[in-house]
Amino acid sequence: MGDQATPPVTGYPAPAGAPPTNSNGYYSNRPPPSGTAYAYAAPPPRAYNYNYNNYNPYYQQPDADAVRRAVFLRRVFAVIIALFIIIGVVFFIIWLVLRPRIPEFRADSLSVSNFNLSNNFVTANWEFQFTARNPNKKISLDYQHIYAEIFYDDESLAETSVAPFYQDSRNETTSKAEFAAKGAFVEDWVVERINKERPDIVFKVWMLARVSFKAGSWRTRSRYLRVFCGGLTVGFARNSSSGNLVGAPRQCRAGL
């Protein structure tokens, strides 16, 4: 009966190799006796691979020739850009020093002879005299391939070429353009308006010239210069086929 004071212990039996328990049924912190083996073997230590030079099949080493070509192309582009910048700076400095200006033009006179308008056909001779002025202090001008055309309103009546000429700085040159129309066809509205305007008829002269600017050894490429002289009123005497410019000379517009 003395065993009844100790309550029976229920539960599962301790696994083989478990640490011993104390009198209360709890596991003891004491190490197991020597020679006691665990039921399960300890896992082997994990092997670490510290080789960082593993081959990656998806990574390809850059081609040395391709790298050299890329470097060469970058250097070529850099040189080209640098040259453009240097040339631009040089031209800008030249422009600041020389300050090129567009030449000025003036219509001095316009005379008409043998003017005849009949059945939509015009026959006449024009002589247009003009003055070109070079306002530049250090630049000379070279005019070449000068083309001229005379109009009534927007209707072209005749065209011609003007002799080329050369201008020094601060110089004026007087030249002339001679036009001739022999039976040139015009529209009906031109005939009606000219007959209404007479004895005063308004003409326009348009010129196109290739001009280059020169200062010492510096010379620009040829540029197209456009000159427009409008409002050239020619007065005809009654029943006369000849007339001359009415009023004072007129300034023309010029631009590149």
Number of structural domains the chain divides into: 1
The answer to whether residue 203 sits within a structural domain is yes
pLDDT band at residue 151 using 50, 70 and 90 as cut-offs = very high
Torsion sign across C-alpha atoms 201, 236, 124, 186 = positive
Q: Please report, rounded to a whole number, the percentage of residues in the chain having pLDDT higher than 90.
A: 50
The answer to whether residue 68 sits within a structural domain is no
3-state secondary structure of 76: helix
The answer to whether residue 23 sits within a structural domain is no
The answer to whether residue 202 sits within a structural domain is yes
Check: pTM over 0.75? Answer yes or no: no
Alpha helices in 100-245 (DSSP H): 188-197
Find the CATH number of the domain harbouring 172.
2.60.40
CA end-to-end distance (rounded Å), the chain: 134
3-state secondary structure of 148: strand
d(CA 251, CA 103): 12
Q: Is 244 a residue whose pLDDT tops 70?
A: yes
The answer to whether residue 164 sits within a structural domain is yes
pLDDT band at residue 239 using 50, 70 and 90 as cut-offs = confident
Model confidence pLDDT, tens digit, residues 62-120: 677 788 888 888 889 899 999 888 888 876 776 666 677 899 999 999 999 999 998 89
The answer to whether residue 58 sits within a structural domain is no
Instruction: Tell me if 224 sits within 8 A of 195, measured CB to CB.
Output: no
The answer to whether residue 40 sits within a structural domain is no
The answer to whether residue 200 sits within a structural domain is yes
What 31-39 contacts at long range (C-beta under 8 Å, 24+ apart), as own/partner pairs, is 39/15
Burial class (CB in 10 A: 0-12, 13-18, 19+), 129: middle
Model confidence pLDDT, tens digit, residues 2-22: 455 555 555 555 555 555 555
Q: Is 147 a residue whose pLDDT tops 90?
A: yes
Q: How far is CA 43 from CA 17, 64, 162, in A?
A: 17, 49, 108
Question: What is the extent of the structural domain holding 140?
Answer: 104-255
